[in-house]
């Protein structure tokens, strides 16, 4: 069960186990979905239309982008920035799931609302994600810079990136894109958690026997559905965030096509709408939705699995 469950009859995991399950689920999922993340970021940062009809467009489809990245940069390119990405996933997963557990427990103990209500999971999920984002945002900026750079590389190592960015752009560079991130992450994560619990209840209502028999499949499918819904509704803000995170990094983007500078979130949104149209706000949506379906499904799948493993291990130890 994701979040505090007052009816768990001793099945609730300790806070350490919740954080550990969140970390491991983030680590495993990140390793598997990194190629989709790289393609999504490349699409989001491309000014030109994602279309064969635009001769200046470097990328125009998932398969074409995959082939081109392989040819130009080799298979390792799909795991560019993987170390900061893993630090991001491990830290984010731990803080997010731990915060969600604590917040839903506080709501229950305050006797304000049913801790399983859609609105409670939405607010608690959003606040938990904001807490995690504030904790790991500098690593997200580093991950985006590594994923966005072409060849030859501007940053050779993680340490080189941190030192160079700090010296040339100042400490605030590590919080670039924070405003759209927080604005986007609250509804995105809120919808993830609330839709996940709602989809699970719907699944159990539609297929009561199957819901109990195939818990892992149910968690995977409901997590995937929650990921697609939440990503589709909040996608433009994710694109603006990525554009802002590579500000001051334009020289490393020259090989990919046109580059732009933005003065902030509103200016970024205005320029994208003026130059690329409303559809420009949804560039990279297809790999992003695929990534959201896979990653969110796997995150909840692994989280629930590891929580059950921790519970079974404790139960076995207590019976010895």
pTM of the predicted model as reported, rounded to 2 decimal places: 0.76
Handedness of CA 283, 255, 73, 24 (dihedral sign): negative
Q: Where are the domains of the chain?
A: 15-311
How many angstroms separate the CA atoms of 47 and 275, rounded?
9
Spatial CA neighbour of 257 closest among 54, 38, 46: 46
- Helix then strand then coil, % of the chain, to nearest 5: 80, 0, 20
Give the pLDDT of residue 249: 61
Give the pLDDT of residue 140: 83
Give the pLDDT of residue 273: 92
Give the pLDDT of residue 127: 96
Residue 299 CB partners (closer than 8 Å, separation 6+): 25, 26, 29, 93, 223
Residue 320 CB partners (closer than 8 Å, separation 6+): none
Query: Token pair of 127, please?
Result: 């606040």
CATH superfamily of the domain spanning 15-311: Mitochondrial carrier domain (1.50.40.10)
Tens digits of residue pLDDT in 20-33: 999 999 998 988 88
Handedness of CA 189, 190, 196, 199 (dihedral sign): negative
The helix (run of H) or strand (run of E) holding residue 191 is helix 178-206
Q: What DSSP state is assigned to residue 12?
A: P
Give the pLDDT of residue 253: 57
- In a 13 Å sphere around the CA of 93, the CA atoms on its Cβ side amount to 30
Residue ranges of the chain whose pLDDT lies below 50: none
């Amino acid at each position: 069960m994701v979040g505090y469950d007052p009816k768990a009859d001793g099945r609730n995991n300790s806070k350490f186990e919740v954080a550990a399950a969140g970390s491991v689920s983030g680590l495993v999922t990140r390793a598997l979905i990194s190629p989709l993340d790289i393609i999504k970021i490349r699409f989001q940062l491309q000014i030109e239309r994602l279309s064969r009809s635009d001769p200046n467009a470097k990328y125009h489809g998932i398969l074409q982008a995959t082939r081109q990245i392989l040819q130009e940069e080799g298979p390792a390119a799909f795991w560019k920035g993987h170390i900061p990405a893993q630090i991001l996933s491990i830290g984010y997963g731990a803080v997010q799931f731990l915060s969600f557990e604590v917040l839903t427990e506080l709501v229950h103990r305050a006797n304000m609302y049913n801790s399983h209500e859609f609105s409670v999971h939405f607010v608690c999920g959003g606040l938990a994600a904001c807490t995690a984002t504030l904790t790991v945002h500098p690593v997200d900026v580093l991950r985006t810079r590594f994923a966005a750079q072409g060849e030859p590389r501007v940053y050779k190592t993680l340490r080189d990136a941190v030192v160079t960015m700090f010296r040339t752009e100042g400490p605030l560079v590590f919080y670039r894109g924070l405003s759209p991130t927080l604005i986007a992450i609250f509804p995105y994560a809120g919808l993830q958690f609330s839709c996940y619990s709602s989809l699970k209840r719907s699944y159990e209502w539609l297929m009561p026997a199957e819901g109990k028999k195939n818990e892992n499949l149910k968690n995977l499918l409901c997590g995937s559905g929650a990921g697609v819904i939440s990503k589709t509704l909040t996608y433009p803000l994710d694109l603006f965030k990525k554009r802002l995170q590579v500000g001051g990094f334009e020289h490393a983007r020259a090989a990919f096509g046109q580059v732009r500078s933005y003065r902030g979130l509103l200016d970024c949104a205005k320029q994208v709408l003026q130059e690329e149209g409303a559809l420009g706000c949804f560039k990279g949506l297809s790999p992003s939705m695929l990534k959201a379906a896979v990653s969110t499904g796997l995150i909840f799948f692994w989280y629930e699995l590891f929580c059950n493993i921790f519970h079974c291990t404790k139960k076995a130890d207590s019976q010895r």
